[in-house]
Amino acid sequence: MNIPRYKNVHLTYCLNVHPGESIAEVEEAVFEKAATVFAEVEELTGTRGPFGLGVWLSAAAAAALDEPAKLAEFKHRLTEAGFYVFTLNGFPYGKFHGTRVKQAVYRPDWSDPRRLRHTKLLARILASLLPEGVDGSISTVPITYREWADDATVEAATRNLSELAASLSELKESVGKVISVALEPEPDCFLEGTDDVVGFFTKKLLPEGVRSLSERHGFSRPEAEGVLRRHVGVCLDAIHAAVIFEDPAEAIRRSAENGIRVCKVHLGAALKAEVGAGGPPEALGAFQDDVYLHQVKVRTPDGDVRFPDLPEALAGGADLTGEWRVHYHVPLTWEGASGISTTRNVVDQDFIRTALGAGVEHFEVETYTLSVFPNAYASPESILAKDLAWVIGRIRDCQASGKA
């Protein structure tokens, strides 16, 4: 949905919360589940459509849409249902529900030609779906998982991202649609925090990408830098930032100061707990699952300690006192329970004002863990609607105060 008072600023939720590995599942997610979500949003907030969507397309689903008649039919159905698509989630490549995902979610990474081919296809699909006058974004993996990030991997990823930028520039010239790929920093990945983002852009992507675009595609150096800055940016996830104890508003400010485009913001909350001598809350154990990776950061009096997943933290860090933060996407409308709270307070007026002031146009609630969330208090669709209403309320409060 368009955010009032802003010409091209849009809010939605990410449909990766629903199964979407096949085109049939994508259609069910859009025309049944999202329709239910936005009907409740309209009831709760009075917001009218058309409603924007953040669609997840796996490699298989994208391939199924890579056929003109099928894509035209999908677009027609979107219009008939009162929907439009302005952003895609290009992060999970294969199965993302009901199976062990863990670190496999980062494969193929940006050193792999399959990631480049998939993202080019997503861009072509999005260009066909975008309404006139609306720019598009595609969130994607943060280069690679940190353990896999050797020099050869980073070099190959830089080349592939440069090639993608050239392809997106050509798409802009041919069909008039501006689409950007948004690298999404995440705990324990090559791009984890803002220092990593600034370092990669300023020391690798821009200097090497400018050279590559100049030599391979004939851009002048200023043109090449403009192409890279326009078409490659970041997706700032408030959950991921909070887990590593980084202020997401400050992360946006620092990115903007370095000329790095924040193409998209993910809104949500992570788990947190203040742990004393008695050890972590027993209720935290219910948040372990065999599907997703839940990285843990503990801020102790002696420094920060990290664990690759929640089971390792509970097994090896029970004696660690301090604040625990867990990469688990919980609803914004859930306040916590049994000694567990959340980081939802980072989605405040300063954050909203900073994001809008930095030119962020795409806002997306992302709560993909609802299928394994142990504290569900309503259906997934109703939780998503309530979260969107919660965000709309914060935006309205910000606007009423004159701060947005």
What's the whole-number mean pLDDT along residues 96-122?
Answer: 97
Residue 6 is predicted with a pLDDT of 72
Confidence (pTM): 0.97
Percent of the chain at pLDDT > 70 equals 99
Report CA 136 to chain centroid distance, whole Å. Answer: 14
Kindly state the helix (H) or strand (E) to which residue 154 belongs, with its residue range: helix 151-175
Sign of CA dihedral 349, 351, 354, 359: negative
Of the candidates 231, 241, 233, which has an alpha carbon nearest to the alpha carbon of residue 258? 233
How does DSSP classify residue 3? P
- Can you give the pLDDT at residue 104? 97
Percent of the chain's residues with pLDDT above 90:
96
- CA–CA separation, 117 vs 63, rounded Å? 11
Secondary structure (3-state) at 131: coil
Element (H or E) spanning 88, and its range?
A: strand 83-89
How does DSSP classify residue 377?
Answer: -
Spatial separation of the C-alpha atoms in residues 285 and 221, rounded to whole Å: 53
Q: Convert the pLDDT of each residue in 160-209 to its tens digit.
A: 999 999 999 999 999 999 999 999 999 999 999 999 999 999 999 999 99
Q: Which amino acid is at 317?
A: G
Whether the CB-CB separation of 225 and 313 falls below 8 Å is answered with no
- Tokens describing residue 261: 């485009």
Cα angle, residue 99 at apex, residues 113 and 183 outer, rounded to 5°: 40
The answer to whether residue 3 scores a pLDDT higher than 90 is no
Fold (CATH) for 10-268+344-400: TIM Barrel (3.20.20)
Tell which residue, 93, 95, 101, has the closest CA to residue 290: 101
Mean pLDDT to the nearest integer, 240-260: 97
Please state, in angstroms and rounded to a whole number, the distance separating the CA atoms of residues 315 and 310: 9
C-alpha closest to that of 387 among 370, 362, 403: 370
SS3 41: helix
